[in-house]
């Protein structure tokens, strides 16, 4: 047997069944910030990362989970195509086959199907600790002798066995044909049954969390608790960010003169971008809690619990996986639909995935809930908005599955993993990755849009307006310092409002405002909504600019001080905003109308692009954008008109 020279770049493909621990393993081997989750479909495409070991460059390719080389779903086709060398990504030099030790006889079926690929192979016996807790001790050395390939026992979540695995992967040079074997007999021969001494934690927890009566109410309670924590725990961190933002604004004001440059730096950049960054703690907390549920194994139970419910509306329990993912971001949610083998189910799930309230909607909810609803109701309103998206998604799925996507329904077949203690390192990397992505968005798309909105709201500058208010300043006759400063601030406010009223942005908002009038939106709310069509969270910096006259401050976002904030922040600005007639522009009903619109409208071009990529046609993204916009407009109009009829409409302030 000839030993081949290692290539300049060694490609290691991680192969295994869903939930075998591949993603967690590659994350710990490479340090790549991927998020392992405990249900099928977490990996829906071949994801690469590179490391250097011993002077050699190693290219890891984390393949979607497969049960054999006979692919059924789209994610399985992706993995099998790579293994057979039919992928544009190239081919593997070494196979790292990850087996779940707690299900060894089943896992060995996959290994048996890989034996004819004729490639160097290292077998990873993962989750050894889980097997031992269940009363089974696996003899890795005996398994290696029977298979004639290296076998490394690991516990990826605790980093055990990783150094030995690195050495085995570096030493893997020549293919060793696997002997034919019987998976059940082989598993029995290398397993010592030491007996389970007590009922496992998985059995005990499942007896409660999967209870036929209590299961779904407990799921709802867990999700509701997550939303309450988003507000309560993140508040102190948000205050720190606001304090830093205020300090930067004050510093800029101290070293610049009044005019376009100061307005651009403070109104356009500091407060435009800062009004979004202030929500970073809440987004980090939400991602952390979702990661805990996924890594613990509970998310798979949620899919199981909801399978029968979703089946009544033309979906399957597998649809829960992409829909749950869409609460973080609809783009990976749309991609995760590849795990659904029925094409009609898959398309229906794609069409409703953007209705899940993603993290980009969260800043909008936080600003308006914080401004117009008492703290005791904050979690209730937020939960209601998330629930609204779910209810509308159920209705839409039912309609499309009985009309344009009429046909059969797939069945949910999945294994429930054992419960795990989530790894703090895994959660930390998940949060870091999500926050980095959010900050990059804030520093690019949101920054550019904030600058454009600032320019559109600042220009054109009228010399006549400037001269009129300068004359008012010259006409001040009072001598008291405090009175002079108050009068100057009043004139500054009036001048800036006059300039803004005839700006380009105001002209656009006033032109299209009649379309949004039935929803209760004034022209400024209309401008905010229009600015958010590229990305939902852009309404926050837009409002930061629209209501930052004369002195911009993103506001006090502490929910405990809603009714008596001492400052003049964004929330206070929204509460006090009036039109030319002196009537309030916003109240809780208008805020709710805006939030309903945002909960249901498709305002993310990147998501529509993902739908185009996954469906191979512009028909479905156009359909998604159209139906979501119509549904959002209709629902928001209903909320405002019915609320007004019941006496909750706007009154003069």
CATH classification number, 9-193, choose in 3.40.50.300, 3.40.50.1370, 3.40.50.620, 3.40.50.20: 3.40.50.300
Q: Pick the residue with more confidence: 583 or 563?
A: 583
Q: Where in the chain is the domain with CATH 3.40.50.300?
A: 9-193
Cα(25)–Cα(341) distance, integer angstroms = 27
For a pLDDT cut of 70, what percent of the chain falls above it? 79
pLDDT value of residue 637:
95
For residue 567, is pLDDT > 50? no
pLDDT value of residue 88:
63
Note every long-range contact of 384-388, with CB atoms under 8 Å and residues 24 or more positions apart, other chains counting: 385/357, 385/361, 385/595, 385/596, 385/599, 386/223, 386/227, 386/327, 386/356, 386/357, 386/599, 388/596, 388/599, 388/600, 388/635
CB of 19 closer than 8 Å to CB of 413: no
Window from 365-374, 388-397, 413-422 with minimum mean pLDDT: 413-422
pLDDT value of residue 568:
43
What 3-state DSSP class applies to 512? helix
pLDDT value of residue 577:
77
For residue 175, is pLDDT > 60? yes
pLDDT value of residue 230:
65
| Dihedral sign, Cα of residue 97, residue 101, residue 106, residue 112 | positive
Q: What order of strands is seen across the sheet that includes strand 151-153?
A: 47-53, 56-62, 9-16, 94-100, 121-126, 151-153
pLDDT value of residue 550:
36
What digits encode the pLDDT tens for the residues 119-144? 889 999 988 877 877 778 888 889 98
For residue 380, is pLDDT > 90? no
Estimate to the nearest angstrom the gap between the alpha carbon of 102 and the chain centroid: 31
End-to-end CA distance of the chain: 89
pLDDT band at 361 (very low <50, low <70, confident <90, very high): confident
For residue 37, is pLDDT > 60? no
pLDDT value of residue 377:
80
pLDDT value of residue 310:
75
Window from 200-214, 317-331, 541-555 with minimum mean pLDDT: 541-555
pLDDT band at 388 (very low <50, low <70, confident <90, very high): very high
Q: Pick the residue with more confidence: 605 or 101?
A: 101
pLDDT value of residue 527:
81
Helices of type H across 403-480: 424-443, 445-458, 463-474
| CA distances, 534 to each of 61, 326, 447, 451 (Å) | 33, 18, 13, 15
For residue 1, is pLDDT > 60? no
What's this model's pTM, rounded to 2 decimal places?
Answer: 0.57
pLDDT value of residue 252:
86
pLDDT value of residue 460:
87
pLDDT value of residue 332:
64
Q: Pick the residue with more confidence: 169 or 315?
A: 169
Q: Pick the residue with more confidence: 555 or 216?
A: 216
For residue 494, is pLDDT > 90? no
For a pLDDT cut of 90, what percent of the chain falls above it? 7
* pLDDT, average across residues 19-41: 64
* pLDDT, average across residues 68-81: 78
pLDDT band at 36 (very low <50, low <70, confident <90, very high): very low
pLDDT band at 593 (very low <50, low <70, confident <90, very high): very high
pLDDT value of residue 449:
66
**Average predicted confidence (pLDDT) for the chain:** 77
Q: 550: cis peptide before it, omega within 30°?
A: yes
pLDDT band at 596 (very low <50, low <70, confident <90, very high): very high
* pLDDT, average across residues 624-634: 93
Estimate to the nearest angstrom the gap between the alpha carbon of 25 and the chain centroid: 23
pLDDT value of residue 51:
83
What digits encode the pLDDT tens for the residues 236-291? 777 787 788 778 888 888 888 777 788 778 766 776 666 667 667 766 776 777 77
Cα(422)–Cα(418) distance, integer angstroms = 12
Cα(408)–Cα(406) distance, integer angstroms = 7
- E strands in 498-555: none
- 3-state DSSP helix/strand/coil % of the chain, to nearest 5: 60, 10, 30
pLDDT value of residue 438:
64
Element (H, E) at 544: helix 539-546
Q: By C-alpha distance, which of 112, 129, 134, 275 is closest to 200?
A: 134
For residue 563, is pLDDT > 60? no
């Amino acid at each position: 047997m000839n030993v081949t020279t290692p290539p300049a770049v060694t490609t290691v493909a991680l192969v295994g069944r869903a939930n075998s621990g591949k993603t967690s393993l590659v994350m710990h081997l490479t340090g790549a910030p991927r998020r392992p989750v405990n249900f099928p479909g977490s990996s829906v495409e071949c994801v690469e990362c590179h490391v250097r070991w011993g002077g050699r460059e190693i290219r890891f390719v984390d393949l979607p989970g497969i049960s054999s080389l006979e692919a059924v779903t789209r994610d399985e086709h992706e993995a099998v195509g790579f293994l057979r060398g039919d992928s544009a990504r190239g081919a593997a030099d070494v196979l790292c086959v990850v087996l779940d030790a707690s299900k060894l006889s089943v896992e060995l079926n996959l290994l048996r199907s890989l034996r004819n690929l004729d490639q160097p192979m290292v077998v990873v016996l993962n989750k050894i600790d889980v097997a031992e807790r269940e009363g089974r001790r696996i003899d890795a050395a005996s398994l290696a002798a029977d298979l004639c390939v290296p076998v490394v026992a690991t516990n990826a979540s605790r980093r055990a066995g990783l150094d030995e695995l690195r050495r085995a992967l570096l030493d893997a040079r020549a293919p060793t044909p696997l002997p034919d074997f019987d998976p059940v007999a082989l598993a029995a021969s290398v397993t010592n049954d030491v007996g389970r001494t007590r009922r496992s934690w998985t059995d005990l927890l499942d007896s409660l969390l999967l209870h036929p009566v209590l299961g779904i109410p407990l799921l709802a309670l867990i999700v509701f608790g997550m939303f309450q924590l988003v507000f309560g725990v993140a508040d102190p961190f948000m205050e720190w960010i606001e304090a830093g933002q205020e300090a930067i604004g004050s510093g800029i004001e101290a070293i610049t003169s009044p005019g376009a440059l100061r307005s651009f730096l403070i109104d356009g950049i500091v407060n435009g971008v800062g009004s979004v960054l202030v929500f970073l703690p809440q987004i980090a907390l939400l991602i952390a809690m979702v990661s805990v549920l996924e890594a613990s194994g509970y998310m798979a139970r949620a899919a199981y619990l909801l399978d029968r419910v979703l089946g009544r509306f033309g979906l399957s329990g597998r649809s829960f996986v992409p829909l749950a993912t869409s609460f973080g971001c609809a783009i990976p949610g749309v991609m995760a639909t590849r795990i659904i083998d029925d094409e009609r189910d898959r398309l229906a799930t794609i069409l409703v995935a953007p209705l899940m309230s993603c993290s980009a909607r969260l800043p909008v909810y936080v600003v308006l809930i914080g401004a117009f609803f008492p703290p005791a109701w904050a979690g209730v309103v937020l939960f209601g908005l998330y629930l609204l998206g779910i209810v509308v998604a159920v209705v839409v799925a039912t309609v499309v599955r009985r009309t344009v996507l009429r046909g059969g329904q797939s069945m949910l077949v999945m294994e429930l993993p054992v419960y795990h203690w989530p790894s703090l390192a895994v959660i930390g990397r998940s949060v870091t990755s999500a926050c980095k992505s959010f900050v990059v968005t804030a520093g690019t798309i949101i920054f550019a849009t904030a600058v454009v909105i600032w320019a559109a709201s600042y220009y054109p500058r009228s010399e006549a307006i400037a001269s009129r208010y300068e004359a008012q300043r010259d006409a001040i006759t009072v001598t008291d310092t405090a009175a002079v400063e108050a009068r100057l601030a009043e004139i500054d406010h009036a001048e800036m409002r006059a300039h803004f009223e005839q700006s380009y942005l105001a002209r656009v908002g006033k032109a299209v405002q009649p379309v949004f009038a039935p929803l209760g939106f004034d022209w400024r709310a209309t401008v905010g909504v229009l600015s958010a069509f590229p990305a939902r969270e852009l309404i926050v910096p837009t409002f930061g600019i629209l209501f930052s006259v004369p002195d911009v401050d993103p506001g006090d976002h502490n929910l405990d001080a809603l009714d008596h904030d001492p400052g003049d922040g964004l929330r206070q600005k929204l509460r006090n905003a009036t039109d030319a007639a002196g009537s309030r522009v916003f109240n809780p009903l208008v805020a709710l109308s805006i939030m309903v619109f945002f909960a249901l409208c498709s305002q993310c071009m990147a998501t529509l692009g993902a739908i185009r990529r996954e469906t191979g046609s512009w028909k479905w993204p156009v359909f998604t954008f159209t139906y979501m916009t119509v549904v959002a407009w209709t629902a928001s109009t209903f909320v405002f008109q019915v609320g007004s009829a019941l006496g909750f409409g706007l009154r003069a302030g």
